[in-house]
Structure 1
Amino acid sequence: MNAGNEARKRLGSDKASRQKTVFLIIAIVPSLLGYLLFTLYPNVMSVYYSLLDWDGLSGAVFVGFDNYSNMFKDDFVWRALYHNLLYMIVVPALTVLISLLLAYLLNNKSYKENAVYKVIYFFTNVLSTVVVALLWSFIFDGSFGMLNGVLKLFGLNMNDFYWLGDTSTAIWALVLPMVWGGVGLYVVIFINAMSSIPASLYEAAVLEGARPMTILFRITIPLIRGVIRVCVVFVILGSLKGFEIIMVLTNGGPEGATDVIGLYMFNLAFGKEYHNYGYASAIGMLLFVILVGAKLIIDKLYPEEHVEF
């Protein structure tokens, strides 16, 4: 009798194990195949393409590391990387700071319109990058742009000045649509993180006479450091590899004043004037190394912390 019960238990256990194995295969294999096909394989092939002199269509010629040696001598690469560095510093700082302040106001002030504000802030993330860029192209227009109109109300007549057409202002003008397009998402993320902080901590701080800014920098920010860290990583990496807004608004102009490494690589591979897929792949490998290095530096300078409350 006992032997029969044990046999049935083993059969049941084996059946459950097989079902678990089948479920894991069904759940994991499609995602794994997609990763291998659409992520790993293109990256591996990009390494191979970077060793070729190839326009993407005709026969390829193996040139070894010539593309890499030419890349380090290319002034356009270093100029584009300099612009990336500027955006990597300015855009994340403004995006995270503005998002934190807006999220703090919405989370700690009982405005009746809070739900509407959240939708309005997040609306920019619903729009495509091209739509955002086109909106800002009208704002920056010299003849009928909103920016010049607002400045004129304050007594600053710009005389049809086109912000994206001047080498001294174009690179800084592009910061505005980049920040505007990213703030909404991080406001929602920070609101959700702040709402998990116990209200008793804020009540105790208020009883102690703490001011709102003191509460923000002494309580709120330290308790959501982990979330802020993740957001900073996303914004920095996004500012390094992103180029869509720049491509639509200026395409790297005027005179290369807004060119970034991702746009330069794209134009080399698919532009009207150049079709050097091998050289573009070498630049892509440089961008990959920079992204990995940036992530490692962030992890070193801003280590992950676990906060309990």
Structure 2
Amino acid sequence: MAVYTSTKKVKRPEKRFSLEKSNVQRNIFLLLAIAPPFGGYLLFTLYPNILSVYYSLLNWDGMTEPVFIGFQNFIAMFQDQFVWRALSHNLFLFIIVPASVVIISLVLAYLLSYKNYFESKFLKLLFFFPNILSTVVIAILWQFIYDGNYGLLNEVLAFIGIDAGNFYWLGDERTALWAVVPAWIWGSVGLYVIIFVNAMDAIPKSFYEAAIMDGASDWTLLFKITLPTIMPIVRVSLLFLTLFTIKGFDMMLILTNGGPAGATDVIGLYMFNLAFGEGTHSYGYASAIGMLLFVILITAKAIMDRYMKKRGIDY
């Protein structure tokens, strides 16, 4: 008796069910992974920014009932000479600090990466040391350096034959803003030295070997090979330094608190003192200045994206 068997494949819906179940589990996992940082962004970044827009339209000191005044804070801001003075100081720092930090960091990183000094590891640690310190420690350290009575700077000048007397560098309107610059640069260079060293170490050595065989000098290697190759990293570094220079105020707050007579006041510090300083608290006006600062940061970012290369040399 012949037995006939069917060769038709039987569908197994349980596999599809298992696949759908795994997709659901994956989506749940992604949701749980994304929810905390996204919730933190909404709560601590987006929500305060939206509130700042609302506060900028109010006359409010944080205690009494707020009064809606529309764009009066913005009109007063553009007529405020202290805002423009603070912005001029930001512009001064913007021109000097980012370029100085990047240039010094590039030169030091190049020497550490390609000269193979015996002390390279120690020098990397030495350059990075300021980044281990907090801004408060760095500022207090430079206050001691600039002190008129027992400051290191005056002692060094006296040693080389320049008698500065008891001149306090942070207490004079002519020198206070200039004196802030070395402290800011010293506190920033080390991090970017390490970043640039790692970027340079990733460049194939064959590039340099071929150029050296053709008689290229150290400066040619730096400007024709190293810089074009790591330009995306240089661009990002300049972007971070620019944004930090424009909105940063903690170093200035501790060193001088905007003094003497507003000679070192910057827009972030001016805004902070309006909102939280002694005397009348003007949260509405400070929020309007915050909106101006936001526009300046976005504009600076757009300009850098427009005129700086986003890609380096492909190899």
Scaled by the length of structure 2, what TM-score is found?
0.96
1:270 aligns to 2:261 (yes or no): no
Cα distance in 2, alignment partners of residues 288 and 303 from structure 1: 24
Cα distance in 2, alignment partners of residues 181 and 291 from structure 1: 22
Q: Deviations over 1:81-131 (max 9, x none)?
A: 000001011000110000000100110021232222212211111111011
Structure 1 residue 2: deviation in Å?
3.2
Structure 1 residue 9: deviation in Å?
2.5
1:233 aligned residue (227, 233, 239)? 239
Structure 1 residue 3: deviation in Å?
3.1
CA contact (8 A) 2:274 2:283 kept: yes
Cα distance in 2, alignment partners of residues 245 and 175 from structure 1: 10
Q: Which moved more, 1:257-266 or 1:203-212?
A: 203-212
Cα distance in 2, alignment partners of residues 175 and 268 from structure 1: 24
Corresponding residue of 1:258: 264
Amino acid in the other structure paired with 1:274: T
**% identity of equivalent residues:** 56
Cα distance in 1, alignment partners of residues 196 and 116 from structure 2: 16
Cα distance in 2, alignment partners of residues 174 and 58 from structure 1: 38
Amino acid in the other structure paired with 2:129: F
1:202 aligns to 2:214 (yes or no): no
Cα distance in 2, alignment partners of residues 147 and 2 from structure 1: 89
Cα distance in 2, alignment partners of residues 306 and 169 from structure 1: 40
1:297 aligned residue (295, 303, 310)? 303
Corresponding residue of 1:73: 79
Corresponding residue of 2:255: 249
Cα distance in 2, alignment partners of residues 3 and 181 from structure 1: 71
SS of 1:251's equivalent? coil
Cα distance in 2, alignment partners of residues 90 and 145 from structure 1: 25
Amino acid in the other structure paired with 1:88: F
Corresponding residue of 1:160: 166
TM-align CA RMSD: 1.1
Q: Deviations over 1:177-198 (max 9, x none)?
A: 1100100110011011100100
Structure 1 residue 150: deviation in Å?
1.1
Scaled by the length of structure 1, what TM-score is found?
0.97
1:22 aligned residue (19, 28, 36)? 28
1:26-65 alignment, distance < 5 Å: 26-65=32-71
Cα distance in 1, alignment partners of residues 205 and 159 from structure 2: 43
Cα distance in 1, alignment partners of residues 279 and 103 from structure 2: 40
Cα distance in 1, alignment partners of residues 313 and 47 from structure 2: 38
Structure 1 residue 160: deviation in Å?
1.2
CA contact (8 A) 2:131 2:187 kept: yes
**Structure 2 spans left out of the alignment, 5+ residues:** 1-7
SS of 1:3's equivalent? coil
Cα distance in 1, alignment partners of residues 283 and 212 from structure 2: 61
Cα distance in 2, alignment partners of residues 142 and 105 from structure 1: 36
CA contact (8 A) 1:267 1:274 kept: no
Corresponding residue of 2:10: 3
SS of 2:10's equivalent? helix
Q: Deviations over 1:262-301 (max 9, x none)?
A: 0000000000123111000000000000000010011111
SS of 1:280's equivalent? helix
CA contact (8 A) 2:229 2:312 kept: no
Corresponding residue of 1:90: 96
Cα distance in 2, alignment partners of residues 2 and 79 from structure 1: 82
1:41-190 alignment, distance < 5 Å: 41-190=47-196
Structure 1 residue 61: deviation in Å?
0.9
Corresponding residue of 1:221: 227
Cα distance in 1, alignment partners of residues 228 and 206 from structure 2: 16
Structure 1 residue 214: deviation in Å?
1.3
CA contact (8 A) 2:147 2:169 kept: yes
CA contact (8 A) 2:230 2:312 kept: no
Structure 1 residue 306: deviation in Å?
4.3
Amino acid in the other structure paired with 1:2: K
Structure 1 residue 23: deviation in Å?
1.1
Cα distance in 2, alignment partners of residues 220 and 303 from structure 1: 14
Q: Deviations over 1:37-88 (max 9, x none)?
A: 0000000000000011111122111111100000000000000000000101
SS of 2:102's equivalent? helix
SS of 1:157's equivalent? coil
Q: Deviations over 1:226-253 (max 9, x none)?
A: 0000000000000000011111111101
CA contact (8 A) 2:173 2:263 kept: yes
Q: Which moved more, 1:46-55 or 1:149-158?
A: 149-158
Q: Deviations over 1:115-168 (max 9, x none)?
A: 222122111111110110000000011111111111112111111111111111
